[in-house]
Structure formats: C-alpha cells, structure tokens
Amino acid sequence: MFAEPDLDIFFRQLVDSWQDGVLLVDEDLTISYCNVVFHNMIKGELTSPDANLIGRTLNDVFDGLLIEQFTAPVRAVFKADDDHWLSDHLFVPESQGVERHFSLQVRLLGTEKKQAAICLKNISALIRHELRGNELELELEQNSLRDEVTGLSSRAYWESWLTSEFNRSKRYNQDMSIILIDLATHHESLPELPVEAFVNILADVAQLIQGVLRNSDQAARYSDKRIVTLLPHTNGAGTENLASRIKMKIEHYLEEKDLQQWVEFRLGVAVFRGASQNEEQVIDRYDDLLQLAEDDLLN
C-alpha cells in the first residue's frame, strides 16, 4: 500500500493536470485511499461527514444518489479489466437550489491487488457559465467554446463531448456515429470565391445542418471549411439516413443560391457499432472514429 505522499505523487503523474479529488477502491468497493480534497468536495454527501473513510465501503459512507453515480463506472472498469479511463458527469443537487457538477473519471490500476482510481474535478463554474445562455454568448466565444462564424461548438469543446460520448458508448456497448462535411472552394476546377462570401455560405450551411440534427446531437466547426456532427445512440442506417438529408439540404441550398460553380462538398461517415464490432474494424479510441470519417470523406 502506498503512503499518502507517495500516492499523491503517483496520482499527479497518472492524471497529469488533474487538480482535484482522488479516491481508491477495490473490487468490494472498499476505500483504501482518499485525499483531503476529495473528502472536502463530497463532505455534504457523506453519511458521517467527519468520519474516516479508509476501510469502509462506498455503500457505507455515501448517500443513495452518489452511490448510484459512483458504482456504475467503477463496476464497469472492473468488468472491462483494462486501464482505459471511463468518463462521466456527476451531478449533485442541494436543498438550497445550488447544483454542483463534477467531471468523474475512473480507471483500473495495475497494482498487485485490483484497485480502481476515482477522480473528481469540480466543473460547476463551467456548467453555470454555459447555462447562462445568450447574454454570455460573446464570453463563450472568447473562451473558445463556440465558433463565432457558425454559432456551432468549437473543435476543442466538441472533442470533449466526443471523448465523453465515446467512452459512454464503449462502456454500455451502444452505437454512435459522426458525420464530417467538407466545403471545398479552391479546387483547380473552381473559380476563386471571396473570403467574405464563403463565410456567409459556411454560416448558412451550419444553420441547415442544425435544422436537421436532434437535440442530443452536437455539431462543431472542425476546421476552416469543415463541419462535424456527433450522433449519440445512432447506428449505421440512421447515420446514412441523416447524411442523405444533410446532403440533400446542402445541394438544394447551393442550387437555389446558384453556387454550384463556386462550391462543392463531400461527406464522410464513421460508425462505432458498440457490441457488434468485427475483427476487421475495431474502433478502440475516439480518434480512430475521426480517422474513419476522414478516410470515408476522401474516398
């Protein structure tokens, strides 16, 4: 067993820039380590807030809501028996109407005895900032959460969603997909389009795509001339159907605006098939999914 200073160093190396709480449990959900930060972050949800947690189980020390949110990813990690991080969003309501939000990550450690690290990062401020809505739109853009031209998510913000959704889909063997849309304007066969005109076209196409997507889907400006969409719980047939609708919308728009001679576009699709992955195409990381969409677009 690590001494606490050794564990602090170990976890700083393990989670890199992780700044907040760390808890360690075995397969019986017995706590073998809890740093002070973690204890203080969840103190209000402990059955005995001032009690020592070491040697006690999660069921003994946390209330019902937290038990459910903690144990599901922990059991999934032990069941999967690998060292990948599982990510989730931990939500803690309070009687005063204050909501607390945490980024929850769990990983199986390669120690002599099977143990899982539970790591928390307080993201309440970020969530509150996002939910304040339109009045903070400019501030959100300045913080790189949204693209000012299209109104879609920024690439960095979207990839954080992709990471979370991919881990969730992998954990529960659920399908998910992405669609990559490329708008080309400077091929040799196309006359050059003024930058100002293309900015308007990009914004219009972004609105068209948003009009097709569901509330659970997430679209982002992926690069100067690319838009990408994340489709949770969507299989291959559903993705192809949605891609066809997007294609039809863009084609109609370009024809209506008489822009075919200036702009051409391509779509790339990639699907994570959950439990039905085959040996020829195993997607193990979210960036594998992005690469498949890129390959499909280029082909």
pLDDT at 143: 53
Q: Are residues 214 and 110 in the same domain?
A: no
Please determine, for residue 237, whether its predicted confidence score (pLDDT) is greater than 60: yes
Q: Are residues 94 and 24 in the same domain?
A: yes
Q: Are residues 190 and 257 in the same domain?
A: yes
CA angle centred on 137, ends 135 and 138, rounded to 5°:
105
pTM recorded for the entire structure: 0.51
Q: Are residues 268 and 121 in the same domain?
A: no
Q: Are residues 245 and 201 in the same domain?
A: yes
Q: Are residues 154 and 266 in the same domain?
A: yes
Please determine, for residue 242, whether its predicted confidence score (pLDDT) is greater than 90: yes
Residue range(s) defining the domain that contains residue 68 = 4-126
Please determine, for residue 35, whether its predicted confidence score (pLDDT) is greater than 90: no
For the record, the structure tokens of 292 come out as 């498949």
Please determine, for residue 294, whether its predicted confidence score (pLDDT) is greater than 60: yes
The pLDDT confidence band at residue 4, using thresholds 50, 70 and 90, is very low
Q: Are residues 136 and 117 in the same domain?
A: no
Task: Please write the tens of the pLDDT for every residue from 156-174.
Answer: 888 888 888 888 888 888 8
Q: What is the DSSP string of 27-84?
A: TT-BEEEE-HHHHHHTGGGBSSTTS--TT-BHHHHB-HHHHHHHHHHHHHHHHHTS--
Last residue of a domain, one of 126, 154, 172: 126
Q: Are residues 80 and 19 in the same domain?
A: yes
